[in-house]
Structure 1
Amino acid sequence: MSNLSTTADDILRCARTLIVAGGYNGFSYADIAAVVGIRKASIHHHFPAKADLVRTLVFQYRQEVEAGLANLDQRVPDPVGKIRAYLGFWEACITDQSLPFCVCALLATQIPILPEEVAQEVRAHFRMLSSWLSSVLTRGKNQGSLHLNGTAEAEAEILIAAVHGAMVSARAYGDPAIFGVITHPMLERLNPPP
């Protein structure tokens, strides 16, 4: 997908912002055309249907997340630091409003209305994230730095649910600090003080 034109990139950036603000049905090609400054026909040229646009957006989003996690794996050697950095990334994004909500988390709440090809991409994102977190948690357990109450896979799902739930709460209360109020105890539970 890296061979997309600048116009297609602009369309995708705009669609991401609109999805985070209002979900799958919260925008139209007319909305994108107005923001990007192009005709709707130009959007259809790049993405014949809305499902094509959103599927491409989610695919790219997942690639960005995978690259970010790979970079995190290289930069941060210890599992506790990886989890802290993952939580810190979202806390910063929610606080500065650069990415106030995970695109895939928002779309996951809308799976019943999503076209199947979009839903598949959203599920693939969750599988990838769960796999990464499970591997980090397993390493931390094996090294003795993380305390798990269940399997690494179950703890990964709990962490995903807590992070995404914290996003919902921060949005509902209009208070970015709520994210940390919810997620900091998660890290303390996984890595209790000696």
Structure 2
Amino acid sequence: MSETKDKIVALADQLVRTKGFNAFSYKDISAPLEIKNAAIHYHFPAKADLGVEVVDQEMIKFHTQTNRWKNLPENEQLKKLTDVFRRHSREGNICLMGSLAPDFDTLEPAMQAKVQEMAAGIVNWLTQCLEQGRKKKLIHFKGAANARALIIISNLQASLLLSRVMGPSAFRLIAEQLMDDLCHK
């Protein structure tokens, strides 16, 4: 990507995580980057095109991270996932999936498909991590791994929302309890 395009995507990502997808316009990007709206439209003719690129970039980051973690024990991979959410909590961000979910019904079909692809990819990775960790007796839980993955991801997403309202201790308490429940007998 070009430097301008990279900056547009990075700022759009930040705006989605802090304001929500429907709460920002191209002006919210052009003003701080000191570019014209036409420059944004050159790279992203429609806002949905920009949204799709933001999701694509997030999934590239996610796959890069999980590939780096693949040789770690599964309980350590879960800790790394929690650390990603911890970083977002410190930055005052909501995770991308959690931020796009409330706007889902208003998104263009192509963007809805990308959000669904992102959700499925994250939940599938987490499900596999849980299944393998349980086989190795590194992770302990009752029920299906897919159901547990949904519980974990929804708790991590909610922890970011609650930490905005209740302060960073809400994230810390939720994350510590999740890890304790999964990784200790």
Residues 89-128 of structure 1 correspond to what in structure 2 (within 5 A)? Answer: 89-95=84-90, 97=91, 100-128=93-121
- RMSD after superposition: 1.3
SS state of the match for residue 93, structure 2? coil
Moved more, 99-108 or 43-52: 99-108
TM-score between both structures, scaled by the size of structure 2: 0.95
Do structure 1's residue 185 and structure 2's residue 177 form an aligned pair? yes
**How much identity, in percent, do the aligned residues show?**
26
**Structure 1: 5+ residue stretches without partners:** none
Moved more, 184-193 or 11-20: 184-193
1:46 alignment counterpart: 43
**Structure 2: 5+ residue stretches without partners:** none
- 1:164 deviates by 0.5
Higher relative contact order structure (alpha carbons within 8 Å, sequence separation ≥ 6): 2
Moved over 3 A (4+): none
Residues 128-139 of structure 1 correspond to what in structure 2 (within 5 A)? Answer: 128-139=121-132
Per-residue deviation, residues 55-93 of structure 1 (Å, max 9, x unmatched): 11111111111111111223xx21111111211222133
- Whichever residue aligns with residue 73 of structure 2, its letter is D
Counterparts in 2 of 1:125 and 1:5: CA distance versus 1, 3 Å = same
- 1:119 deviates by 1.3
- Whichever residue aligns with residue 10 of structure 1, its letter is K
SS state of the match for residue 110, structure 1? helix
TM-score between both structures, scaled by the size of structure 1: 0.90
- CA distance in structure 1 between the partners assigned to 2:83 and 2:169 by the alignment: 12
- CA distance in structure 2 between the partners assigned to 1:116 and 1:176 by the alignment: 35
Do structure 1's residue 154 and structure 2's residue 147 form an aligned pair? yes
Do structure 1's residue 87 and structure 2's residue 79 form an aligned pair? no
Q: Say if 1:108 and 1:119, in contact at 8 Å, map to a contact too.
A: no
